[in-house]
Structure 1
Amino acid sequence: MPRIEIELTSSRDDGSWTWRAAGAREPRGTLDGSLLPTGAAVGDQLRAETEQFLDGLEITALLLPKAGSDQPDLLEILGSGRNEPQVITTLAKKGRSGRKGESPHSDDKPRGRRRDGKDGKGRRKERGERSQSTRSDGETGSSNKKKESSRRRSRKGATASPSTATEGPPKPKRLRPRRKHRKAALAALPEELHLIGQILARGGIPGLRDTVEAQNKAALEAGEPEIPTSLLVQLGERIYPSLRTADWHDRAEAALTGIAEVDLRDLRSVVVASDTAARSDETRELAGKLREELATRVDREHTEWMNEVRSTLDSGRIVRALRLSSRPPKAGAPLPPAELDRLAEAANASLTSQISQDRWATIIDAVALSPVHLRVVPEGLPAEPAEELLEVVRRVSMNVPDVASSFGIKPAPTRRSRRPRRPTAF
């Protein structure tokens, strides 16, 4: 339960009081006078515990404000209660490092020279030079290792660059609309409809219905009256078209801004939604401009797509050409008949008994989704097909029935996992 500071503004004859947020105009409302502490008056500020409902805030309890103190909070140091010296000094006994009764330097041998004729200072110097030379050798070796590893990485990157270059074009940019028009539409709603508008903006009419049902379930468990679902749904259906238009307006502006790089699927979805969402002159004009720009881009990408299919066929990259042919930018505009004949002949010539079975599976998988999947007749089959190849043929048997029959496989659809669709806002 959120807690806010409120100010009492007036009292009514029926025993209820009006309130508003302390120091602000909103939120405000009424409360039951039985919740007030004794001696409450207009202008008093209290702490209130609230519950959020669709029709606004409801105050469930009132508390007195915390009393302030002018004196600072102090901590009292008690101590141990014993009188002890503040500083304790302990001196080390003489001859601590040697035997009892002897001084640390009571040996007969002089401490400055050693048997080898070198004093300690010279020995330390020689040891330091040796360690420094060893360290320099180690640093040289480590630097050589680093250089060698960097050369290996550079050679590896040089050999890997052609493969990365042939992976295909990058994924297109997805549509990321702003919420300018949606926020303006929500702000234009009356205050009592703000919460309903936010629910509609997130989940549409189904989301509003689910929210009301969840609140009615909680009210039923608490023994409180339920909210009429049909009334709120009718109210939501009245304000939902304006929110839908505002949301489409945001998406259309973002699509027009990124018309050259946004995914075509997102652009098409915005254009299709304009038939029902574009209601004003401004949105209709925006929809018309978006259609023109989309048609221009689709024509350009369709031409580039056909040129790329031709170039990949010329270079002998049959798998790439087959996969490209299955993804035309313009729906209902396949390759010309001459290019389809070339594609089918190249696929037939690639499926022989001399290639590996992995290559066979890769090509037949690409053929299954291409526009020539019913025209492909392999020039040769593997002598002893492995189970992995047969599994691929079974999976695509409905798309290449003639190829599947040549392996003795009866075409059959594959099982697909059925997942429930999520409710959409539109």
Structure 2
Amino acid sequence: MSSRIEIEITSEIDDQQYTWRALGAREPKGTIKKSLLPAKIKIGDEFRVEADFLIDGIEILRVLPKRDERKGQETIEILGSRNENYGVTTQLVKKKRNKKNSRSRKNQKQNTQKTSKDQRPKRDAAKKPRQSRSPQRGKRLKAKRSHRNSVIDNLPDLHKPLAREVLSRGIPNLRKTLNNMELPQGFDVEILQYAEKINKQLKTAEWRDRADAVLKSAKDIDLRDFRSVVAAGGQWANSDELSSIQSQLETSLRERIDFEHQQWLSEIKKAIEDGKSVRALNLSSHPPKPGTPLPENLMGPLVDLANNSLDSDTGSHRWSVVVQAVAFSPIRLKVTPKGIPERISDELVATIKKLSDRIPNISGLFTDSLKQTTD
């Protein structure tokens, strides 16, 4: 689509062309055919033109006629009757009210508001969002945008809007926008190819920003973010410099996981020694490296602690909490309770019924209670 701009003639190249620039600015600039200009022109003349903004530059299509200069604004003077004596005057008088009636109306209004307020249904207390069972290991990643902004700044001025469009909306939305525009045949294909090239540069720069942030805080960053950056490096680390950064990330990740693993084992050991069965069970189900088995020297004491926590002296609510922790721990098939509560609550039955597939040894002790709920 063509646009209208104002230009200034800056120099004459030859008998066929002149150079121009945008009026009052250094850019944009380009060349214009002499055949499009009036017969007598000189350097510094200003024109309004219709132009096409292309990837390779700006093409002037035609010169528009100059606007007629306005000599001045035409105004109409309103004289009026010149009579400043107004024939009618008005004055608002406050209406007097009976104090007794107004007081009774006020009391009646207050009683009505109080009654309607009491009749309003009470809103349920806002439920707290359910927290993830997985413990957070470190602070979340907050990367800067220096490399990404550098890519945009190094592009020509005419291409920067396209880069921002790709960055904010993506290639699919850009394709839809181009389909709705009336463009010459094949023109949208060239734009999309160039946009995909810019998109690849932007994605690589974003990964570089994230990688720099991870390397800067390798000991504190959350392991989930750490792993995601390392995994994405296989796609975006496509140069020698970026491959070197990827190697540093992989080495730092291995060191971090080893450190977290030792800390994980020490926390489980301390929880077992302190008799905190639920904490020890929850920790055992979330190793720093998924799939890491629990060492034998901790598995035995943890099983004994869980068995002792599930006995006849333990209340139903506590039983339910411990059972949930056991169901997601690596020792779920090895736990054998020492007894069942004397009073089995509906909450405990519902918990065991929900997790029965994961804890068959425990659910077998509540066969009668589970049958009653089924019936």
Task: Tell me the TM-score range normalised by the shorter chain.
Answer: 0.5 to 0.7
AA in 2 matched with 1:213: K
AA in 2 matched with 1:210: N
Normalised to the residue count of structure 2, the TM-score between the two structures is: 0.64
Q: Check if 1:183 corresponds to 2:134.
A: no
CA separation of 1:345 and 1:212: change in aligned 2, threshold 3 A: same
CA separation of 1:4 and 1:316: change in aligned 2, threshold 3 A: farther
Q: Check if 1:211 corresponds to 2:150.
A: no
Matches of 2:351 and 2:56 in 1, distance apart?
59
1:87-137 Cα distance to aligned partner (Å, 9 max, x none)? xxxxxxxxxxxxxxxxxxxxxxxxxxxxxxxxxxxxxxxxxxxxxxxxxxx
The alpha-carbon deviation at position 69 of structure 1 amounts to: 11
Matches of 1:265 and 1:169 in 2, distance apart?
11
1:329 maps to 288
User: Percent identity at matched positions?
Assistant: 35
Spell out the pairing of 1:107-122 with structure 2 (5 A cutoff): none
The alpha-carbon deviation at position 266 of structure 1 amounts to: 0.8
CA separation of 1:190 and 1:354: change in aligned 2, threshold 3 A: same
The alpha-carbon deviation at position 55 of structure 1 amounts to: 9.4
Matches of 1:287 and 1:228 in 2, distance apart?
38
CA separation of 1:67 and 1:170: change in aligned 2, threshold 3 A: farther
**How many pairs does the alignment contain?**
315
Confirm or deny: 8 A CA contact 1:252 1:290 kept in the other structure: yes
Matches of 1:66 and 1:362 in 2, distance apart?
85
* Unaligned residue ranges in structure 2 (runs of 5+): 13-17, 33-40, 86-133
1:335-358 Cα distance to aligned partner (Å, 9 max, x none)? 211201111221121112322222
2:232 maps to 273
Q: Could you tell me which of 44, 54, 63 is aligned with 2:46?
A: 44
Q: Check if 1:389 corresponds to 2:336.
A: no
1:340-384 Cα distance to aligned partner (Å, 9 max, x none)? 111122112111232222211211111122111222222223355
* Unaligned residue ranges in structure 1 (runs of 5+): 12-16, 32-39, 85-167, 411-426
The alpha-carbon deviation at position 214 of structure 1 amounts to: 3.6
Q: Check if 1:398 corresponds to 2:357.
A: yes
Spell out the pairing of 1:167-178 with structure 2 (5 A cutoff): 172-178=138-144
AA in 1 matched with 2:363: A
2:26 maps to 25
The alpha-carbon deviation at position 176 of structure 1 amounts to: 1.2
1:7 maps to 7
Matches of 1:27 and 1:191 in 2, distance apart?
9
Which of structures 1 and 2 has the bigger CA Rg?
Answer: 1
Q: What secondary structure, in the 3-state scheme, does the structure 2 residue paired with 1:334 have?
A: coil
Confirm or deny: 8 A CA contact 2:137 2:221 kept in the other structure: no
Confirm or deny: 8 A CA contact 2:135 2:286 kept in the other structure: no
Matches of 1:26 and 1:289 in 2, distance apart?
43
AA in 2 matched with 1:392: T
The alpha-carbon deviation at position 239 of structure 1 amounts to: 4.2
CA separation of 1:388 and 1:281: change in aligned 2, threshold 3 A: same
Confirm or deny: 8 A CA contact 1:55 1:192 kept in the other structure: no
The alpha-carbon deviation at position 9 of structure 1 amounts to: 4.5
Q: What secondary structure, in the 3-state scheme, does the structure 2 residue paired with 1:23 have?
A: coil
Q: What secondary structure, in the 3-state scheme, does the structure 2 residue paired with 1:248 have?
A: helix
CA separation of 1:24 and 1:313: change in aligned 2, threshold 3 A: same
AA in 2 matched with 1:24: A
Spell out the pairing of 1:21-420 with structure 2 (5 A cutoff): 21-27=22-28, 43-44=45-46, 172-202=138-168, 207-216=170-179, 218-219=180-181, 231-383=190-342, 385-408=344-367
Matches of 2:236 and 2:140 in 1, distance apart?
21
Confirm or deny: 8 A CA contact 1:47 1:65 kept in the other structure: no
- Single out whichever of 224-233 and 368-377 deviates more from structure 2: 224-233
Normalised to the residue count of structure 1, the TM-score between the two structures is: 0.57
